[in-house]
Chains A and B, each alone.
Chain A
Amino acid sequence: MKLKIFAVFLLFHNVAFSQNISIIKFETLQQRITSNPDTVYVVNFFASWCAPCIKEIPEFLKYADENKNKKVRVIFVSLDFKKNMSESLLPMVQNLNINQTVYLLDEPDANEWIDKIDNTWSGVIPATLILHKASDNRRFTTESLSYSLLKKFAN
């Protein structure tokens, strides 16, 4: 009996864990955010320790929800340390009810990839990249975005 309870617990644990967050390398991220040229990708770089990031996430969720029938994808890219994933990032994702894709970017040396996102970026977060390959549209900002600003920025 004890064993059974344990097994059930493990199962749930895995479901919760794999629900949203996958650990990826930069190259994979780049592929994912360019995979469909018709789609508008809204890519938000954040971390669970970044207060201004947490503040703006609900605005992105609202935007995602509003555009769920359009070719719009909101992707959250966490810059948390990998070792803090289960203690900091996961609870935050659950508390904010992030129902969109969350990646944890596993690249310790940001100098290797920051310029590939935008060469004006110093590395501060939050940062947001909006990509639409079909119209060759690419925008980047480190401003904190409200829902209305985001809407303006993405359209």
Chain B
Amino acid sequence: MDGSYVSLSDYPDAKGFIIIFTCNHCPFAKLYPARLNELNLKYKKMGIPLLAISSTDTIAYEEDTYIKMVEKSNNESFNFPYLYDSQQLVAKNFNAQKTPHAYVIWKEKGIWKIKYKGAIDDNGAEPEKVENNYISRALDQLLNEKEVEIKETKSIGCQIHFRK
């Protein structure tokens, strides 16, 4: 994290993105940093970078302030940008409701389309027991120019509390 603003247009060569709405405080989100690093390591070089976004209301959760995000990003050696959605507008645009809430977007004829939304995989607490890597599977299908088979999944998470 270096304090700069990030936009999808900063990545002119990207085929797609893995967008993860996450945060510092949520126990479900805390299970995934290593797995997010792995995803970014694998797919960034294929033209699909991972962007993590925190849209949490920092008034409600002090643990999610920008400074604490920088700390977390450093402590967990994030190899991807961890972005602060201070106005919660990105989350609203995506209709993201919880953390973690994952999206795969793909560029089709110059337009970004959501191809997958939901869980990162099917076992938060026990990574060694994961059977379905929903994001990887969607990306591998997209890279092979196939239709994404599982387009949406559900998972437990912490609510993104939208300021009124």
In the assembled complex, A91 has its CB within 8 A of some CB on chain B: no
* B159 CB-CB contact with A under 8 Å: yes
Identify which of B4-12, B83-91, B117-125 touches chain A: B117-125
| Residues of A close to B124: CB separation below 8 A | 81, 108
Q: Give chain B residues whose Cβ lies under 8 Å from the Cβ of A50.
A: 158
Give the B interface residue count (CB, 8 A). Answer: 23
Which residues of B, 118-164, contact A by the 8 Å Cβ criterion? 118-119, 122-126, 129, 131-132, 153-159, 161
Query: Are A109 and B122 in contact (CB-based, < 8 A)?
Result: yes
Main SS at interface, chain A: loop
Question: Does residue A37 face the partner (Cβ distance < 8 Å to B)?
Answer: no
Interface residues of A in 97-155 (CB under 8 A from B): 108-111, 114-115, 121-125, 142
Flag A60-89 by CB within 8 Å of B: 1 or 0 each.
000000000000000000010111000000
Within 8 A of A (CB), among B97-124: 97-98, 101, 118-119, 122-124
B129 near A108 with CB under 8 A, answer yes
Residues in A with CB closer than 8 Å to B129 are 108
Instruction: Tell me if A52 is interfacial: C-beta within 8 Å of chain B.
Output: yes
B148 CB, min distance to chain A CBs, angstroms: 15
Interface size on A, residues (CB 8 A): 20
Query: Which of these, B101, B126, B156, contacts A125 with CB under 8 Å?
Result: B156
**Contacts known (A49-B27, A111-B118, A142-B159); A122 close to B154, Cβ less than 8 A:** yes
Instruction: Compute how far the CA of A7 lies from the CA of B158 in the bound complex, rounded to whole angstroms.
Output: 41
Indicate the member of A83, A122, A125 with the most B CB atoms within 10 Å.
Answer: A122
* Contact indicator A122/B153 (Cβ below 8 Å): no
Q: B154 to A110, Cβ gap below 8 A?
A: yes
Is A124 touching B122 in the complex (CB atoms < 8 A)?
no
B157 near A124 with CB under 8 A, answer: yes
Chain B, residue nearest A113 (CB): B154
**Contact A81-B125, Cβ < 8 Å, known A49-B27, A110-B119, A124-B159:** yes
Min Cβ gap A88→B in Å is 9
User: Which single residue of chain B is at the shortest CB-CB distance from A108?
Assistant: B123
CB proximity of B35 to chain A, nearest CB, Å:
14
Q: 18 pairs across A/B with beta carbons < 8 Å? A: A47-B27, A52-B161, A81-B124, A82-B125, A83-B125, A108-B124, A108-B129, A110-B154, A110-B155, A111-B118, A115-B154, A122-B97, A124-B97, A124-B156, A124-B157, A124-B159, A125-B158, A142-B159
The 5 closest A-B pairs by CB, nearest first: A114-B154, A109-B122, A124-B159, A111-B153, A81-B125
Q: Which residues of B contact A (CB under 8 A)?
A: 26-27, 97-98, 101, 118-119, 122-126, 129, 131-132, 153-159, 161
A interface residues with partner B (beta carbon < 8 Å): 47, 49-50, 52, 79, 81-83, 108-111, 114-115, 121-125, 142
What 10 additional pairs, Cβ within 8 angstroms, besides A47-B156, A115-B154?
A49-B26, A81-B124, A109-B123, A109-B131, A109-B155, A110-B155, A114-B156, A123-B156, A124-B157, A125-B158
